[in-house]
Structures are given as C-alpha cells and as structure tokens.
Amino acid sequence: MTSPLYLAIDTPHLDAALTLAQRVRHHVGGLKLGLEFFCANGHHGVHEMGKLGLPIFLDLKLHDIPNTVAKAIQALRPLEPAVLTVHAAGGRAMLEEAKAAAGLNTKVVAVTVLTSLDTPDLQDIGVGGSPHDQVVRLAGLARETGLDGIVCSGQEVKAARKAWPSGFFVVPGVRPSNGTAGDQKRIVTPAQAMTDGASILVVGRPISQSEDPDLAARAIEATL
C-alpha cells in the first residue's frame, strides 16, 4: 500500500532537495514541489526529482485568467505531475479550463483557504464567514467544474468528504502532536486528518527540519 504521506520540498537548492528525498523515499508516498523549488529549478528540477520514482505533486497554485492558466498547464503537461494545484478563487471558467488542459493522469485540485489564514484574515480580503464556510463553498464549485478534489486544512476535510465522497482531498499543515505550528493556523494531527477523510497529507518542516528526517517520516507514518 502506498503511503498517503507526501513530503513538501520547500528549498530552492536541487542538491539539498534530492538528498532529503533520497533519505526518506521509502517512508513517503510522494514529493510535493512548490513555488520556491520550481522558481529556482523549473522543468529540469522536476525531471530530476522524478527520477527517484515517487509521484510528483506540483503545487504551483495557479491563479489567473482562464486562458493563461490553461496555457500554463499545457506547458506543464510534459512533466506529467500526479497532482497539480490551482486556486479555487479563480472562478468557474478558470477551473473548467484548468481541468481540460491537464493530462489524463494528472489530478487537478483546487486550493480553497490557505492553512495560514483564519477568520480575521478572510475578513481583511472581503470574504465573509469562517474558513469552514469558505472551504465548503469552494469545494462545491470545484466539484461542479469537474476537478478531482481540493486542498483544505484538516479542520474542514471531514465536512468536505461528507459532501463529496468521491473527492480527492489534500491536507497540508498537519503537525504531529508534539510539533510546533509555525505559520500554520488551522492544524490537526496526521492521524486525525486521515480519520476525517484526507486522501494525502503534505508534511514539510516536521520532517525536513528534523535532525533525522527519515526517523521523523517513519514516526509520522506509524501513526496513520
């Protein structure tokens, strides 16, 4: 059985990323490559990480007019990522164009509310209601537009799974019970996120900043 644990590679340094991924490759189910990594290393970096044989989650959170997002995704198709993110706030047409432009083997998932945001943060940008309300609203939009799933915090995944039983749910910002929150505000433990319906978990600093990343990954995996 493939592990639902994906390691977030949040470094611009390809050598460091490869070293870290090689250390934990037997205890994670995939690698999440974000903006920091992609802006520094581009397609070449993704190809190099892909040589490790793990699924690649390309977390670029694309958000632009529909045509631009579609063309960007077409440009990414040769990389064949297993998962690709766009922002649900881009709207219905953008989400539909994003899914249509992706390869058949790529799951397109919509970022709902970043795990670094809480209710006051949403109010600052003119969004009424709680993060939970906004996640449920955007999950419905993602489902209607034919996407594969969403990205949400562990605090909302139970409600999202109930409303969308066949959806693919990416939960970032999970922290072990003894971990520190850092800049994350809406966190749960990995085990709780899986119990509540997560499809995959994205974990970065609790593994990458550990003195023994392999041991940290195994410890998290053992709780699932």
pLDDT tens-digit series, residues 62-118: 999 999 999 999 999 999 999 999 999 999 999 999 999 999 999 999 999 998 899
Q: What pLDDT shows up at residue 2?
A: 85
User: 191 in helix, strand or coil?
Assistant: helix
> Do 101 and 147 touch, CB atoms closer than 8 A?
no
Which pLDDT band holds residue 177 (cuts at 50, 70, 90)?
A: low
Q: What pLDDT shows up at residue 186?
A: 60
Rounded to whole angstroms, how far apart are CA atoms 30 and 13?
A: 18
Rounded to whole angstroms, how far apart are CA atoms 190 and 157?
A: 12
Q: What tens digit of pLDDT does each residue of 13-49 get?
A: 999 999 999 999 999 999 999 999 999 999 999 999 9
Among 32, 51, 61, 71, the one annotated catalytic: 61
- Can you give the residue ranges of every domain in the chain? 5-223
CA dihedral defined by 195, 120, 10, 188, rounded to 10 degrees? Answer: -20
Residue 61: active-site member: yes
Q: What pLDDT shows up at residue 116?
A: 86
Fold of 5-223: TIM Barrel (3.20.20)
Q: Is 60 exceeded by the pLDDT of residue 180?
A: no
Rounded to whole angstroms, how far apart are CA atoms 153 and 113?
A: 8
- DSSP state at residue 209: T
What is the residue-averaged pLDDT of the chain? 93
Which pLDDT band holds residue 166 (cuts at 50, 70, 90)?
A: very high
Lowest mean pLDDT among 70-84, 138-152, 172-186: 172-186
Which pLDDT band holds residue 175 (cuts at 50, 70, 90)?
A: confident
Q: What pLDDT shows up at residue 173?
A: 81
